[in-house]
Structure 1
């Protein structure tokens, strides 16, 4: 059976988080198709990945038998994340926009799993071609043609990392205007938020079933 790697990074729990609500819809649809499958779950808000240190970084460019004890310990932590990524048949990432970019916890996870010669820039990479669905929620709208289009650094960055660097098969689902129910100045946008959220939930369920069917074939 297929393995799903599910990453959440929102600081808000449960239904208070739009990205978690949509990743949950994806995961439930996936598990309905794969009741005997495996889900590897990482909640980066609850258990953050360690930030890359000099030892963790330099160990990635040195053979294991040349590692110092400090490098070996730091690199062992990176390998845990890398092996989870390599085991995954599909990847699901909740990536809310915070201050125009991804959460620092998600950046830390990415820094751990990007390893040149293994997961990145390697012809024999085990992760290349793996489908990844990113739930890129945001409080406003940064779509093409909107006033804040130029401040959209989430999709641009993740395209460069997930698609161009790791070689993953990338798909975005983008629920917008998530601050509308909470900010009185945005109250007139609540119907647009609700429509965007419903569209995202539907898209997540459809995408999960499509991928599940692919692996069941």
Structure 2
């Protein structure tokens, strides 16, 4: 069994999403002490935004790769293989300006691979990357669960993971983080109760 932890918050020790990924990792390693744990900190070691070379490396068959694309392929594919090898994926996803951090988007861009994580058929798109649990540690300064018009963070992740076939998707969230320490404490306590149910 493998557990993959992804962090994307840029706020260091102040990060609420990182506190949540800490809690989630502790929970799942307690349940599965034999599990291999893989961590990827997208701030400490950011993935570059995709460009023509990395896009070709991600999306085209290796036998078609020219030299520059072939050189980029192993590193790009490693991100996807890490995800596909994991039974539990913990994703730290703070809301930045109504959506996810660009670092996290760069990671997602390496997971959406035609013929590997999704395909198109007679009935439209079909996700191929099911069979794993994905838990998103969501942190938001305001209260967005009742205001879908302003919410482009959890909805984006729901759409993306659903598109690639993940049907075991959960959100553990702290909202109203911008309201001060008391609101954060209340949110963390509620989140820990949700984590205990996973």
Q: Same fold (TM over 0.5)?
A: yes
- The structure carrying a bigger strand percent of its residues is 2
Pairing of 1:48-63 with structure 2 (within 5 A): 48-63=46-61
**1:91-127: per-residue Cα shift (whole Å, max 9, x none)?**
11010000001000000000012111101237693x3
Residue in structure 1 matched with residue 65 of structure 2 by the alignment? 67
Stretch of structure 1 that moved more, 57-66 or 22-31: 57-66
1:25–1:205 CA contact under 8 A, matched in 2:
no
1:193 aligns with 2:189: no
Residues 61 and 44 of structure 1, relative CA distance in 2, 3 Å threshold: closer
Residue in structure 2 matched with residue 29 of structure 1 by the alignment? 27
Residue in structure 1 matched with residue 123 of structure 2 by the alignment? none
Structure 1's unaligned 5+ residue stretches are 182-189, 208-217
1:176–1:197 CA contact under 8 A, matched in 2:
no
Count how many residue pairs are aligned between Structure 1 and Structure 2: 192
1:131 aligns with 2:133: yes
Shift of 1:61: 4.2
Shift of 1:157: 0.7
Residue in structure 2 matched with residue 110 of structure 1 by the alignment? 108
Residue in structure 2 matched with residue 85 of structure 1 by the alignment? 83
Residue in structure 1 matched with residue 154 of structure 2 by the alignment? 155
Kindly name which structure, 1 or 2, has the bigger radius of gyration based on alpha carbons: 1
**1:141-194: per-residue Cα shift (whole Å, max 9, x none)?**
1121x5xx411000111111011x21112111121111222xxxxxxxx54432
1:95–1:135 CA contact under 8 A, matched in 2:
yes
Q: Secondary structure at the match of 2:38?
A: strand
C-alpha root-mean-square deviation of aligned residues, in Å?
A: 1.8
Normalised by the length of structure 1, the TM-score is 0.82
Structure 2's unaligned 5+ residue stretches are 121-125
1:179 aligns with 2:174: no
